[in-house]
Amino acid sequence: MNKKIAVLPGDGIGPEVTAVAVNVLQKVAEKFNHQFTFEEGLVGACAIDATGNPFPEKTWQLCQSADAILFGAIGHPKYDNDPSAPVRPEQGLLAMRKALGLFANIRPVNTFKTLADASPLKREIVEDVDFVVFRELTGGSYFGAKGRSDDRNSAYDTCTYTKDEILRITKLAFEAAGKRRKKVTLVDKANVMETSRLWREVVQQYASDFPEIELELMFVDNAAMALIQNPRRFDVILTENMFGDILTDEASVITGSLGMLPSASVGSQVALYEPIHGSYPQAAGKNIANPMAAVLSAATLLETSFNLMEEGKAVRQAVEEALNNGFVTVDINPTNHLGTREVGEKICSFI
């Protein structure tokens, strides 16, 4: 197979973990006789520094010409304390999602047996947690009209959704549930938000054609509790952009494996794969970041964009083997650990 992968390392630890993922993909190509070409592009703070634009035209063209995108993370502390700055790294991320039509962010959350004790939650609560969140990614208050009054004394953000925007991600969520434990939990705030009521309308109507799939309706405040009290109850969670942002981050820490969780953002054309951890600037350049989430993102890329199931499985097994042998970074084992690159080499050696 001959494929072109756009590599967008981004900021902070992005470049280090992405480099490991690229090595792993290269090893897969050798071993399974594929031809992967990698081309790098700028996005985020590094793109602002180099071009003044957090998502340069050139990066956009690169993405459109690629068969899949491997993404690191964006964000830099120098922008964090000034969210009113006219140009910010996050704008690059949002522009990229919108420009590429990446309307669904898919985040599996599962507990790694060897890591269950790393969770802040009790073992009996996090054991065997296995769900996936479908977060809408190009709608809601992220992209609605926003601004200030003329005297700048008041501000507004508009959350908007159309039936079509809701329907297309609903289809993906139900499809996934059909291959899993056949349950979709729609998370909204329909007792307050009109957009949430539209979500319920569309999802309930769509669900009526799939009687074999259970549809559960849950308010977002309840979901924030249920994720902690009983995360095993979830199979597929479907939700809008902002609620998804909050709940996926909450979900990512309950298993104790934030550094292990990949994600995929899909749309009509090319898909993007990224670890769900952020740019973690304090760790940048120190060779301490956990590369496993980036590597598992590469596995998801192989499976989802290239339909290379065996190859994806080989990568997952290599990660599992590294874990079982204790070849892990400091976040997983504070007393006995390897560096980012060294963990990467171990994973490659297991492929």
Among 84, 153, 154, 191, binds ligand IPM (CB under 6 A): 191
Rounded to whole angstroms, what are the CA distances from 141 to 52, 118, 146, 205, 210? 25, 34, 8, 24, 30
146 is catalytic: no
Q: Does 208 bind a second copy (CB under 8 A)?
A: no
Count of CB atoms situated within 10 Å of the CB of 349? 12
Q: How far is the CB of 192 from ligand IPM (least distance, A)?
A: 5
Using alpha carbons, select from 329, 106, 100 the residue that is nearest to residue 236: 106
Q: State the catalytic residue, choosing from 3, 11, 27, 142.
A: 142
Among 61, 65, 229, 349, binds a second copy (CB under 8 A): 229
Burial of residue 90 (CB within 10 Å: 0-12, 13-18, 19+) is: middle
Helix residue spans in 208-291 (DSSP H) = 220-229, 241-254
221 is catalytic: yes
Q: Give the annotated binding-site residues for Mg(2+).
A: 221, 245, 249
Residues 6+ apart with CB under 8 A from 121: 228, 231, 254, 256
Among 108, 175, 228, 281, binds a second copy (CB under 8 A): 228
Q: How far is the CB of 105 from ligand IPM (least distance, A)?
A: 7
DSSP string spanning 28-89?
Answer: HHHHHT-EEEEEE---SHHHHHHHS-SS-HHHHHHHHHSSEEEEEE---HHHHT-TTSSS-H
Amino acid at 43: V
For residue 114, give both structure tokens: 């060897």
The single-letter DSSP state of residue 326 is T
Instruction: Indicate which of a second copy, ligand IPM, none lies near residue 198 (CB less than 5 to 8 Å, by partner kind).
Output: a second copy
Burial 316-327 (b: 16+ CB within 10 A, else e): bebbbebbeeeb
Among 64, 65, 162, 307, binds a second copy (CB under 8 A): 162
Q: State the catalytic residue, choosing from 78, 221, 286, 313.
A: 221
Q: Does 159 bind a second copy (CB under 8 A)?
A: yes
Among 189, 233, 316, 341, binds a second copy (CB under 8 A): 189
Q: State the catalytic residue, choosing from 249, 286, 331, 346.
A: 249
Among 157, 221, 313, 325, binds ligand IPM (CB under 6 A): 221
11 is catalytic: no
Q: Does 192 bind ligand IPM (CB under 6 A)?
A: yes
Q: How far is the CB of 135 from ligand IPM (least distance, A)?
A: 8
Amino acid at 287: N
Measured between alpha carbons, how far is 315 from 298 in angstroms, rounded to an integer? 8
Among 60, 246, 320, 339, binds a second copy (CB under 8 A): 246
Q: How far is the CB of 191 from ligand IPM (least distance, A)?
A: 5
Nearer to ligand IPM, 3 or 76 (CB): 76
Q: How far is CA 210 from the centre of its chain?
A: 27
Nearer to a second copy, 276 or 284 (CB): 276
Nearer to a second copy, 144 or 178 (CB): 144
280 is catalytic: no
**Three-state DSSP class for residue 151:** coil
Query: Which residues make up the interface to ligand IPM (CB under 6 A)?
Result: 90, 93, 191-192, 221, 245
- Catalytic positions are 142, 189, 221, 245, 249
Query: Which residues make up the interface to a second copy (CB under 8 A)?
Result: 80-81, 83-84, 88, 90, 94, 120-122, 125, 141-142, 144, 146-148, 153-164, 189-198, 200-201, 217, 220-222, 224-225, 227-229, 242-243, 245-250, 252-254, 258
